[in-house]
């Protein structure tokens, strides 16, 4: 059968959904709710609030609900269907990763992208599919959320976090109430994690009319006929350069500091369940070694994205071209590079994201209390300090933050950093598609254990109060001779 996405076989999807419902039933999922209800001064308290309903937020919320932790809500600032990068600032045509990854399926075959796709367009279409179109990945995530009935509220932004006794108060904007109380908070806030865009110093002070970050909302139509420079050699630099070229940019120069293009995807190359499950348990110097090496070798842009740029005659690649300074004047941008001065009308910085918590107002109050790798986990004998690694948060086994000064902010132990910033401590299980289910599993095991332990008195009281007999007393006759009967004989 041909891949005809415009004519989906809805009966196929209905059959898949019925199969999934049966699988869940066989596995007794969702598990029965088990967390005792709580309120504070008459105000109901959530067991878990998840911020972000992108892929990680959905996987975490689904895993919580399946584990019987149902007093949960996920908030996302974006409108429904526009969460995450896929149909907003991701400018690639297809996903970068292979189509076969299980993603957020949580070990349920019927919940995979592959099942969703083949149910609608058939096995042959699956076999002829190269990589997943990004819009189709978003459609799959929308289906995932709807099918599992996940409690997500869109258009709601978290504005701040503060402690209220042993609870966490979250200030929100866009819902009926402006404050919610919760026992645990999961920050599934995406690639920018807890920080924001990483912007090179040479762009500080340059008018925003002349430059954008690759994750900005860029008016590519306005670049028609213009001289554009793109900084970087990663996937996003190629995607943005290609989009500018396709929009009619006069020329696009890739300004690449390294002497050679990164060509080998090292960490993906050694990907295994060992890496997924074992990375967290490595000693700190080994964790550092892995991620320092990966950061230095860098991830290559996909071949198709690179060809999407190089096929344009007005695209140029400048390797070994470091930027020394950028000035703006009447003619646009004057860029001093290690290869001499260059002139541009607009620059796109595909320079990634930072872990600088103070960059995001909603985390600013927490920032001084959060222990990072530079507060003791990193030591100079591991190698040179590297921004993005030494400022990564030092997390516990369930992605929970730790305090820089013990006792200074106890609520951090109930705030879980389930986003890209967790990578140095946990490995790549809370950002990319390959291992997000393993990450959600680890997160929810930790939250479930914490909720149970904190409620131990209630659970013990329930144990003592439980009085439903399984034996009714009429199942046997007691023939044991009693000692006093024997004595009387
Ligand atoms: C351009 C791009 C392409 C990528 N391609 C791939 C790929 O092909 N394969 C792969 O494995 N990985 C890829 N990734 C990496 C990763 O899979 C994605 O970043 C993915 O979106 C991560 O999911 P997430 O849930 O952590 O973050 P996101 O999908 O970004 O979701 C985070 C959500 O949090 C919400 N949010 C943030 N702050 C607040 C707040 N204060 N209040 C309320 N809501 C908030 C945002 O609105 C957003 O919807 C890509 C990343 C990018 C940036």
Quick one: which H or E segment has residue 185? strand 179-187
**Comparing C-alpha atoms, which of 141, 143, 173 is closest to residue 157?**
173
DSSP state for residue 300 in the 8-state scheme? P
Q: Which residue from 49, 50, 51, 52 has its CB within 8 A of the most atoms of ligand 1, so it is best to mutate?
A: 52
3-state SS class at 314: coil
Nearest CA to ligand 1 atom 1: 90
Q: Are 136 and 4 in contact (CB under 8 A)?
A: no
User: Residue 5's pLDDT is what?
Assistant: 45
pLDDT single digits (tens) 207-233: 999 999 999 999 999 999 999 999 999
- Weakly modelled stretches of the chain, pLDDT under 70: 1-11, 483-489
Domains in the chain, start-ordered, CATH in brackets?
10-195+355-456 (3.50.50.60), 201-263+300-349 (3.50.50.60)
Q: Which atom of ligand 1 is closest in space to residue 103's alpha carbon?
A: 11
DSSP state for residue 252 in the 8-state scheme? E
What is d(CA 487, CA 489) in angstroms, rounded to the nearest whole number?
6
Which two structure tokens, joined as six digits, stand for 167?
């609870």
Tell me how far the alpha carbon of residue 2 lies from the centroid of ligand 1, in angstroms: 31
Size (the chain), residues: 489
DSSP state for residue 116 in the 8-state scheme? H
User: Residue 456's pLDDT is what?
Assistant: 98
Q: Which residue from 58, 191, 218, 300 has its CB within 8 A of the most atoms of ligand 1, so it is best to mutate?
A: 191
Q: pTM for the full model? A: 0.95
Tell me how far the alpha carbon of residue 139 lies from the centroid of ligand 1, in angstroms: 15
User: Residue 371's pLDDT is what?
Assistant: 97
3-state SS class at 444: helix
Q: Which residue has the tokens 């099942």?
A: 115
Q: Which atom of ligand 1 is closest in space to residue 91's alpha carbon?
A: 1
């Amino acid at each position: 059968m041909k891949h005809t996405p415009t004519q989906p076989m809805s009966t196929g999807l209905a059959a898949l959904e019925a199969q999934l419902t049966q699988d869940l039933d066989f596995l007794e999922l969702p598990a029965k709710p088990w967390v005792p209800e709580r309120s504070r001064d008459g105000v109901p308290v959530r067991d878990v609030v998840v911020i972000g309903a992108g892929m990680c937020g959905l996987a975490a919320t689904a895993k919580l609900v399946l584990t019987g932790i149902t007093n949960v809500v996920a908030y996302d600032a974006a409108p429904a269907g526009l969460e995450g990068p896929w149909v907003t600032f991701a400018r690639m045509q297809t996903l970068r990763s292979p189509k076969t990854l299980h993603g957020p399926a949580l070990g349920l075959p019927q919940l995979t992208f592959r099942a969703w796709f083949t149910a609608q367009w058939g096995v042959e279409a699956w076999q002829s599919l190269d990589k997943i179109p990004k819009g189709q990945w978003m459609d799959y995530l929308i289906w995932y959320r709807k099918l599992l009935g996940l409690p997500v509220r869109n258009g709601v932004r978290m504005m701040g976090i503060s402690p209220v006794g042993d609870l966490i108060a979250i200030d929100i904007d866009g819902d009926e109430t402006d404050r919610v109380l919760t026992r645990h908070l999961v920050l599934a806030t995406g690639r920018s994690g807890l920080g924001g865009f990483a912007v090179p110093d040479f762009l500080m002070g340059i008018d925003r009319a002349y430059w954008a970050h690759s994750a900005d909302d860029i008016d590519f139509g306005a670049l028609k006929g213009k001289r554009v420079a793109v900084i970087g050699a990663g996937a996003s630099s190629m995607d943005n350069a290609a989009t500018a070229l396709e929009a009619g940019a006069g020329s696009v120069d890739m300004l690449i500091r390294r002497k050679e293009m990164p060509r080998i995807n090292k960490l993906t190359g050694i990907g295994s369940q060992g890496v997924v499950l074992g990375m967290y348990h490595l000693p700190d110097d080994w964790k550092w070694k892995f991620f320092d090496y990966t950061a230095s070798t860098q991830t290559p842009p996909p071949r198709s994205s690179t060809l999407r740029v190089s096929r344009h005659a007005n695209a140029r690649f400048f390797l070994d071209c470091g930027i020394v300074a950028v000035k703006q004047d009447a003619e646009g941008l004057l860029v001093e590079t290690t290869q001499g001065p260059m002139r541009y009308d607009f620059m796109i910085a595909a320079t990634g994201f930072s872990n600088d918590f103070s960059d995001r107002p909603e985390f600013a109050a927490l920032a001084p209390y959060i222990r990072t790798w530079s507060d003791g986990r990193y030591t100079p004998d591991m190698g040179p300090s590297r921004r993005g690694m030494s400022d990564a948060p030092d997390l516990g086994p369930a992605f929970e933050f730790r305090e820089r000064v013990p006792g200074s902010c106890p609520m951090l132990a109930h705030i879980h950093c389930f986003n890209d910033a967790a990578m140095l401590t946990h490995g790549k299980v809370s950002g990319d598609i390959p291992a997000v289910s393993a990450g959600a599993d680890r997160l929810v095991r930790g939250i479930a254990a914490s909720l149970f332990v904190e409620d131990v008195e209630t659970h013990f009281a329930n144990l003592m109060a439980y009085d439903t007999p399984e034996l009714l007393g009429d199942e046997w006759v007691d023939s044991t001779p009693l000692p006093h009967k024997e004595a009387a004989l």
